[in-house]
Amino acid sequence: MSYIEKTVRENLRRELQAVKLYEAAARREQDERRKGILLRLADVERKHAQLWRNKLRELGVEGPVEDDVSGVGEIPEGKSLIELLDDIERIEQGNDAWYQSQRNVIDDPAYTAIYDQIDADEHAHADLAALMGESASPKRRLTRLWAGERWHRNGSGGWVGDAIYGVNDGLGAIFGIIAGVAGYTTNDSTILISGVFGALASTFSMGAGAWLATKSENELQDAELLAERKEIEEDPEHEIEELALLYELKGFETQDAAKIARKIAGDKELFLRTMAQEELGIHETGRGQPWRSATFGGLSTLVGAIVPLIPFFFMQGAAALITAAVISIVAHFIVGALKSRMTVRSWWASGWEMTLVGVIVGGASYLLGELGQVLLR
């Protein structure tokens, strides 16, 4: 048996295994709509199996090919639907890597065409089982939700997050700097100058980082939209089918979903925007503004950085350091409480957590400054 024949037999075995898993999952699914989707996904894998079955016949293999393919195995009846969907996920990921490796060793246009077709099908249907609802793998559902949430970071209210995290960064960094320098020297001018230049450096760094991060997210969004536009232009029927399936998963009947998808597809720009939102989680209002992010991020960092420095403009010695520590600790609590607006935690828990972090940073920095004084003098 040649290497090519062994490879094609393994390809067929993998696709038949996927068919069995989807069919087994469909048997365990109680919802008829979800069951229908699983069976349709099984049909996709069955189509892939037929491609390899035909290729075996081209290689001269005679007789019922399925009988010659060992190792497909039966699905244990005790497996739950969630376990089966997890198995499907692992097999699909493994098959993708398996086919990609073949591209590197089999330089034949006929095989490349099969790999391309399988890739296109899997790209369109990879997330469908993960959207099955409560019966899908929690890990896969969360992955999908997180992917969608990526674009909300710069939407309405995004500046609040930039501002809060900027204040937090400036407050923590400069409090650590002045505590460390104060541990090393009692010279008030040195402490103040170190804090001022540290504040300026943090401001510029945060502003530049926020600008680059938002710009990069916009560029990534543009790249995904460009790829989606290309898919719509090259294979519109495939994308219409995908959109219809996505609407089915939202609860529409099959015929209604197909009708809505085809109606939307009549307007190419609307089709692109709809696919971007439904498939990629990209919303028009989610596009970030790099300069706004840089401004809010930089200025808020400066505000946070100035807080620990205020006492050193009016006081000297230990009194200035103690006052700066008290002000910084209180500010840490306030920032932590405000940060709870961006999370699901209570304001007091978030505030005390931030306070503890501030105390640890300040205390550790001061001790390191003292250690530096001992070692360097």
Give the domains, in start order, of the chain with CATH numbers. 3-149 (1.20.1260.10), 154-377 (no CATH)
**In this model, does residue 283 exceed pLDDT 70?**
no
Which has more confidence, 280 or 63?
280
Summary mean pLDDT of the chain: 79
Instruction: Give pLDDT, residue 309.
Output: 93
**In this model, does residue 66 exceed pLDDT 80?**
no
Pick the closest to residue 86 from 19, 131, 134, 140 (CA basis). 140
Q: Give the C-alpha separation, 313 to 196, whole Å.
A: 11
Q: Give the C-alpha separation, 50 to 309, whole Å.
A: 72
Q: Give the C-alpha separation, 34 to 38, whole Å.
A: 6
- pLDDT over 70 for what percent of the chain? 81
**In this model, does residue 197 exceed pLDDT 90?**
yes
Highest-confidence segment of 130-139, 272-281, 341-350, 355-364: 355-364
Mean pLDDT within 68-94: 72
Pick the closest to residue 292 from 161, 120, 118 (CA basis). 161
Tokens read off for 133 = 């609802």
Which has more confidence, 254 or 265?
265
**In this model, does residue 51 exceed pLDDT 80?**
yes
**In this model, does residue 129 exceed pLDDT 60?**
no
Of the pLDDT bands very low, low, confident and very high (cuts 50, 70, 90), residue 159 is low
DSSP state of 136: S
**In this model, does residue 143 exceed pLDDT 50?**
no
Q: Give the C-alpha separation, 14 to 12, whole Å.
A: 5
**In this model, does residue 228 exceed pLDDT 90?**
no
Burial readout 223-258 (b: 16 or more C-beta within 10 A, e: otherwise):
ebbeebbebbeeeeeebbbbbbbbbbbeebeeeebb
Of the pLDDT bands very low, low, confident and very high (cuts 50, 70, 90), residue 195 is very high
Indicate left, alpha or beta for 60 from its phi (over 0: left) and psi (-120 to 50: alpha): left
Mean pLDDT within 307-319: 90
